[in-house]
Structure 1
Amino acid sequence: MHIDEWIQGVPPGVTYLLVGLIIGVESLGIPLPGEIVLVTAGIMASKGTVDPVVVALCAVAGAIIGDSIGYSIGRRFGKPLFERLGRRFPRHFGPEHLGTAERAFQKWGMWAVFFGRFIALLRIFAGPLAGALKMPYWRFLIANVLGGVVWAGGTTLAVYYIGKAVEQYLQGFSWAALVLAVVAGAGMGLVVKRRAARALADPGTPDPAAQAKAEQPTP
């Protein structure tokens, strides 16, 4: 059974808990299908199964709390934590993944936390890596809260309103039509994410720290 079918098969109260928990665990740094959960919950809300506002609030809370816990873990254990994870889980925490995430932080600073919400690779690295790189917590918190609200809350409510808007046109059709529309939108989002990932992986991206060090006068 897929995770979307599993969520749809539990009581509404449990759905809220699962949404917050799954989003929180993914934000903490453990790869989970957070976007699938948000889309599934949004579709359920458009059918009237769950309350869209409660789902959005649970998703936002999970995103913010999970990222904050990830930040604390990264600040406590530092980059050696990623090296150990890379050896055990190279598919998700390999050196190339860490390098891409580090370049994002070098290029965008605190906003890598915000934009990282929309890119699966950065979403699991943002909190722990921000802590490992000793980013000031107040800067991290601003980007964390904004990113959590826009990504988690925005995705849930967007899917909900799209479902309600087209509901009158689906009276004689299957809900598969809505699913196809969501899949098409997700496909377009995937293209954008892949382009962003390629841009981050560009080895030509300058390293600000190294550039500043090179420009220092030689004693």
Structure 2
Amino acid sequence: MHVQEWLDSVPAVAVYAVVGLVIGLESLGIPLPGEIILVSAALMSSHHTGINPVVLGACATAGAVIGDSIGYAIGRKGGRPLLAWLGRKFPKHFSEGHVATAERSFEKWGMWAVFFGRFVALLRIFAGPLAGVLHMPYWKFLIANVLGGICWAGGTTAVVYYVGIVAEDWLKRFSYLGLVVALLIGLTSVLILKRKTRKAQTGQREAEPAGTGD
């Protein structure tokens, strides 16, 4: 079966559900490739007549907002022991260095950290639980959470959808290659963000001893 035919056979409801669930779990604090899933689904919507990009964006937004809110509640109730437990379960994502970096961002920027954290892979996982641990007022968290979710999920869906429409003829001729390239672009963007985060953490750790010595 041709890839295009296989994609057209996937029920739209299943795509909406997978996108909302994966993004929700990622926002909850579980390291999952939410951004890659959203990019792939948005690309599908550009040449899959059954997938509505508006509904897709709405499901992605709902998953992000609901997942973050549940993460906030868990973090507020679990406190720092929760971060320690997550560090043991997911050492690559919830190490002491990652927690310290995210905590400094929240203490310095507050609501802006929640909003812009939606666009950064590491903070996207931390936002809900850490805001709860730090006892950020829920109404502030909710406003930043909703606005960030709409801008990230809606914006990503719209951009990828319209890019897919423009490249539709090319994708029809090279379906396999088009899908691989789309997934690679999403994966590369995540890896670049992780690399920048690690560099920032290294710079902060090197600067802290110097500041302490003064």
Report if TM-score (shorter chain) is over 0.5. Answer: yes
- 2:146 corresponds in structure 1 to 145
- 2:163 corresponds in structure 1 to 162
Give 1:178 shift.
6.4
Code of the aligned partner of 1:83? A
Distance 1:80 1:160 in 2: 41
- 1:73 corresponds in structure 2 to 74
- 1:18 corresponds in structure 2 to 18
Larger mean Cα displacement after TM superposition, 168-177 or 61-70: 168-177
Given that 1:26 and 1:123 are in contact with CA atoms closer than 8 Å, whether structure 2 keeps it comes out as yes
1:31 and 2:31 correspond:
yes
Report how many residues are paired.
202
Distance 1:116 1:51 in 2: 27
Give 1:206 shift.
9.2
Distance 1:130 1:44 in 2: 34
- 2:58 corresponds in structure 1 to 57
More helix by share: 2
- 2:132 corresponds in structure 1 to 131
Superposed CA deviations along residues 84-109 of structure 1, whole A, max 9, x for unmatched, are: 22123322222122112112212322
Question: Given the two structures, how large is their TM-score scaled by the length of structure 2?
Answer: 0.82
Q: Structure 1's 92 and 190: CA in aligned 2 closer, same or farther, altered over 3 A? A: closer
Question: Given the two structures, how large is their TM-score scaled by the length of structure 1?
Answer: 0.80
Code of the aligned partner of 2:119? F
Q: Structure 1's 146 and 193: CA in aligned 2 closer, same or farther, altered over 3 A? A: farther
Given that 1:100 and 1:201 are in contact with CA atoms closer than 8 Å, whether structure 2 keeps it comes out as no
* Structure 1 SS opposite 2:203: coil
Given that 2:112 and 2:144 are in contact with CA atoms closer than 8 Å, whether structure 1 keeps it comes out as yes
Distance 1:32 1:117 in 2: 14
Give 1:204 shift.
6.5
* Structure 1 SS opposite 2:58: helix
Distance 1:142 1:67 in 2: 12
Distance 2:207 2:135 in 1: 20
Given that 1:104 and 1:200 are in contact with CA atoms closer than 8 Å, whether structure 2 keeps it comes out as no
Distance 1:41 1:172 in 2: 19
More RCO (CA 8 Å, sep 6+): 2
Distance 1:63 1:8 in 2: 26
Given that 2:76 and 2:129 are in contact with CA atoms closer than 8 Å, whether structure 1 keeps it comes out as yes
Code of the aligned partner of 1:38? L
Give 1:201 shift.
5.1
Distance 2:135 2:7 in 1: 37
Unaligned runs of 5+ in 2: 1-5, 209-214
Give 1:202 shift.
3.2
Given that 1:103 and 1:201 are in contact with CA atoms closer than 8 Å, whether structure 2 keeps it comes out as no
Distance 1:169 1:118 in 2: 29
Give 1:62 shift.
0.5
Superposed CA deviations along residues 150-183 of structure 1, whole A, max 9, x for unmatched, are: 1112111211110001224555544524653663
